[in-house]
Structure formats: structure tokens, C-alpha cells
């Protein structure tokens, strides 16, 4: 198995294409030594969801070691489009997508040439729900929302949507790297908490609220964090800050 210098995870983007490009330049991805996983939620809420989809697809197609997962917003979009397509807005079960920022995404997709829209949607449909790798002896699971700590067989719904049950009760030996839940709302509501969280129960939370006031897109170097963790003591704030790069 390839040993990577950096194992990177990018949290929720939500249509913020400019922030994403800033972050990508800062990350300076090296295809010879790096592995990178986008954790999902590329669309909705921000101004340029189609641009973000184009950008993420380009990196996945260009680099063998760039992977992009499905998020719950992509799942909501696909569910809506299965029912109604990109035509006129209809009321129904999948209105939850439109109420959660889907209107801008739907409008931009509908304005594309049909072939490009179909290609972008095919890319989204092909996204896996999780990705696994190892660093040394440590197994690492990348997934959008988390896993159900009391079930051996995970449901798609848990992988895409779970929140409190995962954060409160997960105690596994596998390191789980997630987006989905903004760090501003983990452990109590705090809008100033716009950095990744390295939780004591083997979870890294990477969604730093790109769509919130003062929010950012974050990229966590999981390998560097695990290397620091071998010190066998609580890491300092400076050490933790060395484990991530942010868009602004």
C-alpha cells in the first residue's frame, strides 16, 4: 500500500467556489505524495454550486489520489431530481432540498446545456458514501456525517445524516473523519468556533461552516495529526493548528 506524506480531508464547501480556489492554492496538492478526500456537500447555500461541482470533478478526474464523497445535500438533490427533474418547481416530499439552499443549485443546473448538466449529475451519482485508508497501523474512515455507534451494519441515512448519536457515543478504535455538522454547533452553539475539532473519541470534525458568518472551508492533514498523536499526550493548540489549512 502506498505511504502518503499527507492524508488530507476537505470539509463542506456549499457553493463557495472562490473560497475553495483559495484553499486549493494553499494546500498545494502534490500528486506524488498526497491523498485528498472531499467529504461532500459541494452544493447549495453558496453562490456558485455548479462551479464547485466542476472544480471537484476536475480534481477527481485529474488525480488518482483525489476522492470525492457524497454528502446529504447531493443526496437531497438526486432525490428531488428523480421525482421532478430540472423543470418547474413542484411541491412534494423532496422540497426539503429547496428549503436547504437547493434553489440556487437547481437554477444553475437548469441553465446549463443539457449535456453538461447530465455529466455533472452523473458525476454526483457516482460518488461513494465512504472511503478508507490507513496511516501506519491506524485505520481511517472518511464519511460525510458519521456512523451509528450501536450498529454493525450502517444505513445510508446514518452515513449521510447522523449527528448527536455519533458524536456523543462513538468509542471505536478507527479514526473517523467527517464533515456535515459545523464545528460551531458541536458541544454547544459557538459561532466563533470556526476551526476543525479533534475530539477525544477518535473523531475529526472538518466542517467549519463555510456558509456561516466568519465560516471557512478547512483542509485537515490527518497523517500529520496522527504523527503528532504518537507523542502520547494532549496536543497543544499550536500543534493542532499545524494540522489544518483554511480558506481565509
Looking at residue 92, its pLDDT comes to 56
Q: In angstroms, rounded to a whole number, what is the distance separating the alpha carbons of residues 16 and 44?
A: 9
Number of Cβ atoms within 10 Å of the Cβ of 232 = 5
Decide if domain 6-246 falls under CATH 3.40.50.2300. Answer: no
Question: Is the whole model's pTM more than 0.75, yes or no?
Answer: yes
Asked if residues 172 and 150 have their Cβ atoms less than 8 Å apart, the reply is no
The maximal CA–CA distance of the chain, rounded, in angstroms, is 57
DSSP-based three-state secondary structure for 9: strand
Domain boundaries of the chain, sorted by first residue: 6-246
Asked if residues 206 and 218 have their Cβ atoms less than 8 Å apart, the reply is yes
Looking at residue 7, its pLDDT comes to 98
DSSP-based three-state secondary structure for 20: helix
Strands 34-38, 203-205: pairing kind: unpaired
For helices 17-27 and 49-62, give the axis angle rounded to 10 degrees. 30
Asked if residues 108 and 46 have their Cβ atoms less than 8 Å apart, the reply is no
Q: Tens-of-pLDDT digits for all 248 residues of the chain?
A: 578 999 999 999 999 999 999 999 999 999 999 999 999 999 999 999 999 999 999 999 999 999 999 999 999 999 999 988 888 666 655 588 999 999 999 999 999 999 999 999 999 999 999 999 999 999 999 999 999 999 989 999 999 999 999 999 999 999 999 999 999 999 888 888 899 999 999 999 999 999 999 999 999 999 999 999 998 899 999 999 999 999 98
Amino acid at each position: 500500500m502506498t505511504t502518503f506524506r499527507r492524508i488530507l480531508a476537505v470539509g463542506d464547501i456549499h457553493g463557495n467556489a472562490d473560497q475553495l480556489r483559495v484553499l486549493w492554492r494553499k494546500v498545494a496538492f502534490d500528486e506524488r505524495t498526497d491523498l485528498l478526500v472531499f467529504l461532500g456537500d459541494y452544493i447549495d447555500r453558496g453562490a456558485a454550486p455548479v462551479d464547485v461541482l466542476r472544480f471537484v470533478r476536475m480534481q477527481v478526474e485529474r488525480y488518482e489520489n483525489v476522492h470525492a464523497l457524497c454528502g446529504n445535500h447531493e443526496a437531497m438533490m438526486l432525490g428531488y431530481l428523480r421525482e421532478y427533474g430540472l423543470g418547474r418547481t413542484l411541491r412534494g416530499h423532496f422540497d426539503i432540498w429547496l428549503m436547504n439552499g437547493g434553489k440556487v443549485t437547481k437554477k444553475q443546473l437548469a441553465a446549463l446545456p443539457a449535456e453538461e448538466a447530465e455529466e455533472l449529475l452523473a458525476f454526483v451519482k457516482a460518488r461513494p458514501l465512504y472511503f478508507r485508508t490507513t496511516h501506519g497501523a491506524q485505520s481511517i474512515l472518511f464519511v460525510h456525517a458519521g456512523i451509528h455507534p450501536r450498529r454493525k451494519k450502517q444505513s445510508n441515512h446514518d452515513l449521510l445524516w447522523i449527528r448527536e448519536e455519533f458524536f456523543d457515543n462513538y468509542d471505536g478504535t478507527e479514526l473517523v473523519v467527517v464533515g456535515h455538522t459545523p464545528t460551531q454547533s458541536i458541544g454547544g452553539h459557538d459561532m466563533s468556533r470556526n476551526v476543525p475539532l479533534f475530539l477525544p473519541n477518535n473523531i475529526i470534525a472538518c466542517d467549519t461552516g463555510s456558509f456561516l458568518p466568519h465560516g471557512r472551508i478547512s483542509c485537515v492533514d490527518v497523517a500529520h495529526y496522527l504523527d503528532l498523536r504518537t507523542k502520547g499526550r494532549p496536543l497543544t493548540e499550536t500543534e493542532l493548528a499545524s494540522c489544518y489549512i483554511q480558506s481565509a
